[in-house]
Every structure is written in C-alpha cells, then in structure tokens.
Structure 1
C-alpha cells in the first residue's frame, strides 16, 4: 500500500513539475508573436490583412513544419525566411501550440452564388476536369489534419494566392497533389472555392 501511494505521489509531483514548463513555453511563444508575428498575423492569429493567413486554430505541427520550411528555403518567402531564420525547432513547435489554442474565425458570405460554386468544388470536385474534392484530404469541414492544413475560415485572397503558387510551382514544399489540382482549376473555380472555404467554421 505504501509503495503504491509513494508511486502515485511521485507521478503527481512529476506531472505538476511539467506544468510550469509548458506555461513557460507558451510564454516564450507569446513573446515571439508580440515581437514579430503580430505585425502580419495579429496577436490572436486573426491576420492583419487578407494577404496574410489566419493562424488561429491551425494545427501546431503544420505551423512548425511551415516555419522549418521557410527557414531552410524549401518554402520561398523573403519575409518569412527572415522571420524564421533564428527560430529553434522548439520555438517553432511552441509557436504552433500557441496559435492552435486560439479560437478560429471566419468570413461572412459576400456572394452566395460564387460560394455555391465553391461548395460544389469543395465537396464534389470536378469530374470533368479531374479536380478532386477538397474534402478528400482536408475533411468535410475543412479542418485538415496535423499534416494537412486547416482551411476552414482562411482568408479567401490568401487561399487564391496559394492555389496560384501551387499551379506555377512557386510553392512546392507541400503535397505534390496540390500541383495537379491547382493546375486544373479555372480562375472562377479558384475564386469560388476560396470564397466558400473562408466562410467555414
């Protein structure tokens, strides 16, 4: 009985010791966000402009990977390469955890007809041009996975720009499937699917 109690107390003590470390990690992430990230992405990951991605609610592992790719040059961006240059792997993970905890936001529908076309592409794809449905990888609500980004609520203009970069191969650090999909989307479909995704919760 004494041994079991001692083991339980020791385990509880270890768990309590781990809590301040996690809090300190998020505190460090908050310092980094307040020092640089907030300029474009906001303190809550809400994005200061439609040009920049919303990071609130994004998967921590996905954010950490993108930061690592910016740092290594696998993903091209003069601005982000500079921002990530001195980040450690731990800090990238901490930033991911920081933004994942923030509540995600979304946009309101401004053109129901356009969003309707986007909903069709998102849920069914386009069998006539060989475009796969977005839900097949990103899920029915656009919430993605730790490896695939959460799309729900993302800025429409940012999504349009990323699809164009996948099409031109300016962005090639991620799943090559996106190159094939983006190359088959018409300009209308790009705008429509981006518009629809931006409204998802």
Structure 2
C-alpha cells in the first residue's frame, strides 16, 4: 500500500512539474527550504552547487527538476534501491522533493575536459551513432545530440564519468529497475570499452 501510494505521488509530482515546464517556467517552490535541505544533507556528497564533490556521486546541477523529484520519490518508495539515499529522503515531503529539483536545475553547469582524447572519440561515435554490429542504439536518439535529455529522460551532459559507468553497469545487471527496460537492453550490449568511452565523452558535453 505504501509503495503504491509513493508511485502515485511520484506520478503526480511529475505531471505537475511537466505542466509548469510546458507553460515555459519552473514551478513555484520554496527555494529557501531546498537550500536548507541541501546544506544539511545533500552537499556533503553532491557539492554545495550540485557539482559533485566526489567522482562517485552524480552531478545534480542542471538536471531536470522532474527527473530529480522522480528519483527522490523512487528512493523513498524503494523502487530505486540505495541504503544511503533511502535514509536521506524518508522524511521528505513531495513539495520538498520538487523544490530540490528546481533548486538543482537552476545551478550552473560546466563540461569536463577529457584527459584521454582517443577514448573520448570512441565515446563520441557510440553516443551519436551507436554500434550497428552489436545492436547498441545511439544515446543521442533519446537524450539528444547535446545530451540535454527531456522532461522524461535525464540530462547526461557533464555527468561524472564514474557515476555514468556505475549506472550503465547497474542497468546491465538489472540492479537498477526503476527506469525503462530500454536501458537494460542497451547496457547489456555495451562492452567495457564502450561503457568507459561513452561515459567519458558524456562528461565533456555542456
């Protein structure tokens, strides 16, 4: 019953945020409350501006507020498994999750410089063209040529490489089950080289 209610809550937050975005503006939220939550629990791992303070944790700056709110709701309901995040979000209300989403979406982003240009070139190929020989679809087909995503799909541009690698491996092993089946299929066909290459290339996008 609780999980079902959490899924409904996530859906309602997503619909509300989508309508606000369709109107051309971010939803009205309590940004002061979001800043306080960030200072008290988020910034230790994700940085004060959502730019990530560790190669292990995702960059939240610039991410779509709908996506952040949905992931937080999924962590709370247990649809997305994480002992750390599950505990962090248990006392958050839906308006606070949405506020955090807007808070991070408004933060500035910046690309990262690839230290291995050759590896990044492989990633660029896979990102834009996929791999027709193994059936890997191009990332750009869903996430856009610049990796900016949509209201339904996450922004990838500028994401921390090791975090992207971890998520692709998690999709491959079916350990992450709160998002669509397409990612399971794609991740299962990627080689280790392709995972590292595309993760590196994504981090250079802005």
What is the TM-score with the length of structure 2 in the denominator? 0.86
Give the counterpart of 1:100 among 101, 105, 128.
Answer: 105
Give the counterpart of 1:168 among 154, 169, 173.
Answer: 173
Q: Which runs of 5+ in 2 are unaligned?
A: 1-26
Name the larger-Rg structure.
1
User: 1: CA distance between counterparts of 2:164 and 2:140?
Assistant: 15
Does 1:141 find its partner at 2:146? Answer: yes
Give the counterpart of 1:56 among 55, 61, 65.
Answer: 61
Residues 141, 200 of structure 1: 8 Å contact kept: yes
Does 1:75 find its partner at 2:49? Answer: no
User: 2: CA distance between counterparts of 1:181 and 1:96?
Assistant: 27
Matches within 5 A, 1:108-187: 108-187=113-192
Could you tell me how far 1:22 is from its partner in structure 2?
4.1
Could you tell me how far 1:104 is from its partner in structure 2?
1.2
User: 1: CA distance between counterparts of 2:67 and 2:163?
Assistant: 17
Q: Which runs of 5+ in 1 are unaligned?
A: 1-20
User: 2: CA distance between counterparts of 1:61 and 1:146?
Assistant: 6
User: 2: CA distance between counterparts of 1:72 and 1:99?
Assistant: 22
What is the TM-score with the length of structure 1 in the denominator? 0.88
User: 2: CA distance between counterparts of 1:122 and 1:83?
Assistant: 33
RMSD: 1.1
Could you tell me how far 1:109 is from its partner in structure 2?
1.1
User: 2: CA distance between counterparts of 1:46 and 1:113?
Assistant: 25
Aligned residue-pair number: 180
